[in-house]
Structure 1
Amino acid sequence: MVNFLKNMPGSSPHLMIIAGEASGDMHGARLVEAMQRLQPGLRFSGIGGQELAAAGVELLFDASKLAVVGLTEVISHLGDILAARRAIIQRMRTDKPALLILIDYPDFNLLLAAKAKRFGIPVFYYISPQVWAWRSGRVKKIGKLTDRVAVILPFEKEFYAQRGVEVEFVGHPLADSVRRENLRSKEAFLLAHQLQVSAETRIVGLLPGSRAKEIRTLLPDFLAAACLLVEQDQQKDWLFLLPQASTISHELLLENGLADCQDKINVRVFRDNRYELMAACDAVLAASGTVTLELAILGIPAVAAYRLSPRTYWLARLLVRHLRHFSLVNLIAEREVIPELLQEAVTPAALAEQLRFMLDNADHRQEILRGLAEVTTKLGPPGCAVRAAELALGCMK
């Protein structure tokens, strides 16, 4: 059992937490809340967003200024990146933390880990970078600079072990946040939104992502695939559900196919109840990413698709040659559970064909559902944040 009372009576231990992206902000907030429940009175400072701030973390720098991708964006934000690093190091000096918690964001966080080690500050890495995909040489660096590492994908533990680094698999945060029993029924969702359907209606989700670039590269093909399905099978009743992320404007949706297809198909746009929307679908076209795991937990078959810029795709092919799959569902299952379409393979015809087979072939659909259940089991039981909190508190000085 972890000894949570390592500090002197009446002391208020200070910890630092660094989350450079929106997902890390959310998962970090759940970790902070779990640590506070296990050991009340902890003080936190660091880098994050609204979620960590709401959890009581004193933000020394806004993570939104650091959430950049691509060399050009990094260079243009270099001033912010250096300012954030200076702010963290200064606080390390003036109010030495009992622990530094790092969440993903490796290029920035590993520099801070090295500094923390020189200051004698223990380091806990929560949600490892995707070293299994590329730059696997960072594994040994992570092992050298950290005291404990918690991973959230089941295959990561063995990946690290094969390279001589011990890590702990704590389960996936989605096991806590995506719970079918917490959602309204499909019938209640449809009724609440006045969606008239029959028992024969095919309900298809169109989930092109939450980034503007994803909308531009995927939504036109998703909508064109929907139009093909309707054209090729006009005897069926079709309903298409399109969630609109808070980061995306309705104008962007209209500019990327929605305006052209609204008179051809029955498509409805939603700004909330995202999980209920997903759970109401018979199948989904989805941008590859965490959403495929959310759909797996909900038991909804999906076609995973992604398209990169030609230059990025060329670079990725050079750096990532060992992975047979790119969707998280298939990576965890170690086989193809859901169909994947990448780059030039993402066409309206291919999307429509995969979706139709998924909907019409009962044996194929049941095979997918069995695979999704297997992946959900591998993600581990609820309680990821608590297990990670126990590990983190065990690292404190």
Structure 2
Amino acid sequence: MSSRLRVMISCGEPSGDLYAGALATEIQRIEPSAIVTGFGGDRLQRAGGTLVHHFSGLSVTGLTEAVRVVPRAWGIYRDLVDAARTERPDVFVAIDFPDFNFVLARAIHKLGIPVVYYISPQLWAWRRGRLSTMKRMVDRVLVIFPFEAPFYERAGVPVSFVGHPLLELTAPAQPRETFMRTHGLDPARPLVALLPGSRRNELRAILPDLVAAAGRIADRLPAAQFAIARAPHLADDSFAPLAAWPSGATRPAMIDQATDDVLASADVAIVASGTATVQAAIHGCPMVVVYRLAPLTYRLGKPFVHVDTYAMANLVAGRRIVPELIQEAFTPEAVAAEALRVLTDPGHAARVRTDLAEVRARLGAPGASRRAAEEVLAVTRASKTRRV
């Protein structure tokens, strides 16, 4: 292996940045002189990556929302392709963020650079037409859920199941009692975690109904207290709906950069569908999964969806073990009812925790980031062997 291994990584949102940072760290442990560059966030940068661009402000959901960021995304895309053409990395690693990374990976593949897709697009759920493109442009797909590998194998796409990196990245920093007292919370009272998403438009669509649900929970269970796990890079005005916080509910603790501590301490979590649902499952935290897209985006996308459940905990379990409240089903009344069921029915809460423990076991063993790094380096070795 060359002493100057070059790796380009592209991720476009906080969850991908978490995985990118861990991957870069493991690559550099194996190859200490490796040069890591690309598109990402603070975690990739802290792991030693040199950023061509930072993703702050680029990540959105929905068709109508995505249109607004197209000009900036196009500029970033061109800069990354130019960087790949100039620097000639030994391998390009795309991490999730499919609408951007799919186009970028195709362009970099055309430059003759090996491509690894880590945290693969959810083609098993929708847009399966992309599978043929994936087969042509990717040297290997690294998947983190056990049911994904057979899907790619059937299509003839080289694939490895490496396990879920969150298994080694989710340890809480403090014991529950210490954490709660540090943030003005009472360890003897039930804690409801609110995770309204990591994108500005998600908060706009989701947070108002979580605020209203908190009031209904407090009406039934006055001892309930609340904590908001704040995702990085969200401006203060994204939380404007908190101005309508119900007077009968204890004011929420706003907690930055400590999602795992919040979930490890909570009795129930109300979570926007996404990576945080996997974090909740790993911590054994019963959850209510919610989501809402712009109506036009939802109507246009729904015919192309090939699954009947959205939460990863349910997909991994193969059955519905946590409630999902999507679009019209997502109401303050429904959220409160599901959360209160966990808070007031110990038998139900225990059954959910047992089911979540099974989900955690199916996610593989810790060490996914190391295994992913080894797979990435194996692709570079195979590529160099073919060129000799």
State the alpha-carbon separation in 1 of the partners of residues 229 and 39 from structure 2. Answer: 29
Matched AA of 2:193: G
Structure 2 counterpart SS, 1:271? strand
Matched AA of 1:218: I
1:186 match: 176
1:120 match: 112
Query: What is the TM-score with the length of structure 2 in the denominator?
Result: 0.89
1:80 match: 72
1:238 match: 224
State the alpha-carbon separation in 2 of the partners of residues 107 and 243 from structure 1. Answer: 27
Query: What is the TM-score with the length of structure 1 in the denominator?
Result: 0.87
RMSD: 2.4
Shift of 1:78: 4.2
Q: How does 1:15-54 map to 2 (within 5 A)?
A: 15-54=7-46
State the alpha-carbon separation in 1 of the partners of residues 367 and 137 from structure 2. Answer: 26
State the alpha-carbon separation in 1 of the partners of residues 296 and 212 from structure 2. Answer: 25
State the alpha-carbon separation in 2 of the partners of residues 107 and 351 from structure 1. Answer: 31
Q: Residue 312 and residue 58 in structure 1: after superposition, are their counterparts in 2 closer, same or farther (change >3 A)?
A: same
The answer as to 2:346 corresponding to 1:362 is: yes
Q: Give CA deviations for 1:266-296 in whole Å, capped at 9, x if unaligned.
A: 1322233332222222112221211111111
1:298 match: 283
Shift of 1:75: 4.8
Q: Residue 57 and residue 161 in structure 1: after superposition, are their counterparts in 2 closer, same or farther (change >3 A)?
A: same
Q: Residue 390 and residue 211 in structure 1: after superposition, are their counterparts in 2 closer, same or farther (change >3 A)?
A: same
1:227 match: 215
Q: Give CA deviations for 1:34-57 in whole Å, capped at 9, x if unaligned.
A: 111112211222222322222222
1:317 match: 302
Shift of 1:157: 0.7
Residues 17, 101 of structure 1: 8 Å contact kept: yes
Q: Give CA deviations for 1:41-98 in whole Å, capped at 9, x if unaligned.
A: 1122222232222222232233336535555555554443343333333333333222
Q: Residue 215 and residue 377 in structure 1: after superposition, are their counterparts in 2 closer, same or farther (change >3 A)?
A: same
Shift of 1:251: 4.8
Segments of 5+ residues of structure 1 without an aligned counterpart are none
1:214 pairs with 185, 202, 209, which one?
Answer: 202
Q: How does 1:324-363 map to 2 (within 5 A)?
A: 324-363=308-347
Q: Give CA deviations for 1:335-354 in whole Å, capped at 9, x if unaligned.
A: 01111111111122211221
Segments of 5+ residues of structure 2 without an aligned counterpart are none
2:146 pairs with 143, 151, 154, which one?
Answer: 154
Residues 282, 301 of structure 1: 8 Å contact kept: yes
The answer as to 2:385 corresponding to 1:385 is: no
Structure 2 counterpart SS, 1:204? strand
1:375 match: 359
The number of aligned residues is 380
Q: Residue 300 and residue 114 in structure 1: after superposition, are their counterparts in 2 closer, same or farther (change >3 A)?
A: closer
Residues 19, 48 of structure 1: 8 Å contact kept: yes
State the alpha-carbon separation in 1 of the partners of residues 36 and 187 from structure 2. Answer: 50
Shift of 1:231: 2.3
Q: How does 1:106-117 map to 2 (within 5 A)?
A: 106-117=98-109
State the alpha-carbon separation in 1 of the partners of residues 72 and 211 from structure 2. Answer: 38
Q: How does 1:237-316 map to 2 (within 5 A)?
A: 237-253=223-239, 255-261=240-246, 263-272=247-256, 273-316=258-301
1:202 match: 190
Shift of 1:194: 3.8
Shift of 1:135: 0.7
| Identity rate, percent | 39
Residues 157, 166 of structure 1: 8 Å contact kept: no
